[in-house]
């Protein structure tokens, strides 16, 4: 059975993927953050791998150029989320047909995205499969990477940009506005923002699995809680149905001591607390459930 | 249509994949060797990505442990082929079922192979797909990487070990000797050999696409030819049907000035010439066609 496209942040019945990820993280100690951190000489190398499929990751109407762009952007976003400087990217293409026009467009999108992030496409792999499948791997460097753990009660929690870009792109695609949708899908990885934020942040993550789940991951890794003010959360203009479980957004979520906060780096949406993840709004302060994007079925 | 398992080196009707790879190599200048070479500070980082599928890369009877081992070994072999020291490996798993027993075995195989090569599994990615799909990415370092170009006429061409291990594993599998077959499939990446060879070699490649095609790749990259003595080629004991187009072997093929050749590093199988790839044997010196493993259909 084909899986549904999970972009719209519907809640899956099972959380098996996350359970399995936790199990893997126990076996592979360096996994469990946005990138693997490899201490080397006087610095750290950052190293991350992402897999993307046609049916799950690219809605109908996504151009080959956007597919290439977005595939490498996802990995560059992981480098950004630790404050890293990207050094190089690899892109593996498993394609149903060896179609040079298609691969040219995919590579152009990937190369342009790498250039936008100050990096370069350095190689990859090619083979064939029934479904389009891409593997993107980014290499970066950072003397002091910002981890998911490190948040302290009393600090601010901030986000680099509005939520819902991918959800809005899907609405535009359904509405026949494919070009506008593709533009929105080609997000710029926040690598330069991540490097500036890393000078002041105590913890950081990208919100690729949705705001709610990303808050829970930070909370668990840091042993803290969050109280987010719902009216402070920025949303993409025109979004019809804001949802905290929207996945596939690639803004950075980070915590910072209040005296080091700079509004030009990100919007403060709440505070670090001792425990629990709560959303304060007109309806009181209910818990924000740990829901978001998962590759469940 | 499912592709056939191409292990046995049957010649494909089309060479589209190689044509497409050449096209990609023209667009991505750092592609086209075993690893991308990223100059960094006083050294070079080596960076390589490989994709593997259940139907194409793992014959029926391959255990999950062997699948994990072989997936990372393929990437570590690329690091070996440039003389690199491996620093870390990532493994992406796209699985039909979130089955912890299966992923535990795959990770054990991957971790044991990394350890055998003096490296470590540092992370990866997880999602689901209909067919088992793995992405392996290795990071290495080398001050003076050995490229495919650099061979000089008059030098020796050498190989680190016998050909046909994967073909022999398939014969054993067909013969019901699954355990022996799995042992043969879990080749040890030649990373320490590659580092020693890199002190003397003028060019190097791993023979994952078969001896014949690998010789042609070295010849083209270096602007030389080869004359290989067929009786000098080592074969795996008991191999029924030796063929130069056997793919998925992971020995190193390299060229070396005769005065620097050391038999303990590899077997000399012929000489670098000015042009053409020929196989000298009892039937004369016919050209060795550029045939081997391809992901064609």
Q: Express each pLDDT in A113-151 by its tens digit.
A: 999 999 999 998 888 888 999 999 999 999 999 999 999
Sign of CA dihedral B70, B71, B76, B79: positive
pLDDT at B16: 66
**Cβ A146 vs Cβ A78: under 8 Å:** no
Q: How confident is the model at residue B10 (pLDDT cuts 50, 70, 90)?
A: very low
Q: How confident is the model at residue B73 (pLDDT cuts 50, 70, 90)?
A: very high
Given a cut of 90, whether residue B284 has pLDDT beyond it is no
Given a cut of 80, whether residue B205 has pLDDT beyond it is yes
Given a cut of 60, whether residue A89 has pLDDT beyond it is yes
One fold for A16-141 and A156-280: no
Q: What is the pLDDT of residues A158-183, one digit of tens each?
A: 999 999 998 899 999 999 999 999 99
pLDDT at B297: 28
Give the 3-state secondary structure of residue B66.
helix
Q: How confident is the model at residue A1 (pLDDT cuts 50, 70, 90)?
A: very low
Q: What is the pLDDT of residues A33-70, one digit of tens each?
A: 889 999 999 999 999 999 999 888 899 999 999 999 99
Given a cut of 90, whether residue A284 has pLDDT beyond it is no
Burial environment of residue A290 by CB neighbours within 10 A (0 to 12, 13 to 18, 19 or more): middle
**Cβ A89 vs Cβ A119: under 8 Å:** yes
Q: What is the pLDDT of residues B108-125, one digit of tens each?
A: 999 999 999 999 999 988
Question: Which H or E run contains A180?
Answer: helix A178-185
Given a cut of 80, whether residue A101 has pLDDT beyond it is yes
Given a cut of 50, whether residue A296 has pLDDT beyond it is no
Task: Give how far B61 is from chain A: nearest CA, Å.
Answer: 21
Q: How many CB pairs under 8 A join A and B?
A: 188
Q: CATH top-level class for B16-141?
A: alpha beta
Given a cut of 80, whether residue A3 has pLDDT beyond it is no
pLDDT at B277: 95
Q: How confident is the model at residue B14 (pLDDT cuts 50, 70, 90)?
A: very low
Q: What is the pLDDT of residues B233-278, one digit of tens each?
A: 999 988 877 777 677 789 999 999 999 999 999 999 999 999 999 9
| Average pLDDT score over residue span A173-196 | 96
What does the alpha-carbon distance between residue A23 and residue A155 come to, in Å, rounded to a whole number?
Answer: 30
- Which chain B residues are within 8 Å of A123, Cβ to Cβ? 28, 30-32, 35-36, 47-49
Chain A residue whose CA is closest to B87: A38
Continuous H helices in chain B = 16-27, 54-57, 64-80, 100-116, 165-174, 178-185, 191-197, 211-222
Given a cut of 60, whether residue B296 has pLDDT beyond it is no
| Average pLDDT score over residue span A221-237 | 94
pLDDT at B152: 98
Given a cut of 90, whether residue B92 has pLDDT beyond it is yes
Chain A residue whose CA is closest to B41: A41
Among B35, B103, B129, the residue with its CB nearest the CB of A24 is B103
- Nearest of B37, B40, B18 to residue B29 by alpha carbon: B37
Beta-sheet pairing, B121-128 with B85-95 = parallel
Kindly report the CATH number that applies to the domain delimited by B156-280: 3.90.650.10
Given a cut of 90, whether residue B158 has pLDDT beyond it is yes
Q: What is the pLDDT of residues B206-222, one digit of tens each?
A: 998 889 989 999 999 99
- Which chain B residues are within 8 Å of A143, Cβ to Cβ? none
Per-residue DSSP letter, A106: H
- Which chain A residues are within 8 Å of B104, Cβ to Cβ? 23, 27
**Domain boundaries in chain A?**
16-141, 156-280
Given a cut of 60, whether residue B294 has pLDDT beyond it is no
Given a cut of 60, whether residue B204 has pLDDT beyond it is yes
Task: Give how far B208 is from chain A: nearest CA, Å.
Answer: 13
What does the alpha-carbon distance between residue B197 and residue B157 come to, in Å, rounded to a whole number?
Answer: 12
Chain A residue whose CA is closest to B132: A129
**Cβ B274 vs Cβ B153: under 8 Å:** yes
């Amino acid at each position: 059975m084909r899986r549904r496209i999970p972009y719209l942040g519907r809640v899956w019945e099972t959380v098996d993927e996350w359970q399995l990820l936790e199990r893997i993280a126990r076996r592979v100690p360096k996994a469990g953050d946005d990138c693997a951190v490899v201490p080397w000489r006087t610095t750290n190398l950052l190293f991350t791998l992402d897999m993307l499929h046609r049916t799950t990751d690219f809605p109908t109407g996504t151009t080959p150029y956007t597919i290439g762009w977005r595939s490498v952007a996802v990995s560059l976003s992981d480098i950004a989320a630790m404050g890293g400087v990207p050094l190089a990217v690899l892109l593996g293409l498993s394609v149903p047909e060896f179609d040079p026009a298609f691969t040219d467009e995919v590579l152009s999108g990937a190369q342009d995205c790498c250039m936008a992030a100050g990096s370069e496409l350095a190689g990859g792999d090619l083979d064939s499969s029934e479904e389009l499948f891409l593997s993107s791997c980014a290499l970066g460097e950072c003397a002091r990477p910002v981890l998911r753990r490190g948040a302290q009660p009393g600090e601010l929690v901030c986000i680099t940009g509005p939520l819902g870009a991918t959800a809005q792109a899907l609405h535009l695609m359904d509405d026949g506005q494919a070009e506008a949708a593709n533009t929105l899908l080609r997000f710029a990885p926040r690598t330069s923002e991540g490097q500036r934020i890393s000078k002041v942040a105590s913890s950081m993550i990208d919100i690729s699995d949705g705001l709610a789940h990303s808050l829970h991951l930070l909370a668990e890794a840091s042993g803290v809680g969050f109280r987010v003010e719902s009216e402070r959360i920025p949303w993409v203009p025109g979004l019809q149905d804001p949802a905290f479980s929207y996945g596939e957004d690639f803004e950075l979520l980070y915590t910072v001591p209040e005296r080091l906060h700079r509004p030009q780096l990100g919007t403060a949406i709440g505070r670090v607390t001792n425990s629990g993840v709560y959303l304060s709004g007109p309806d009181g302060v209910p818990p924000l459930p740990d829901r978001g994007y998962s590759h469940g079925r």
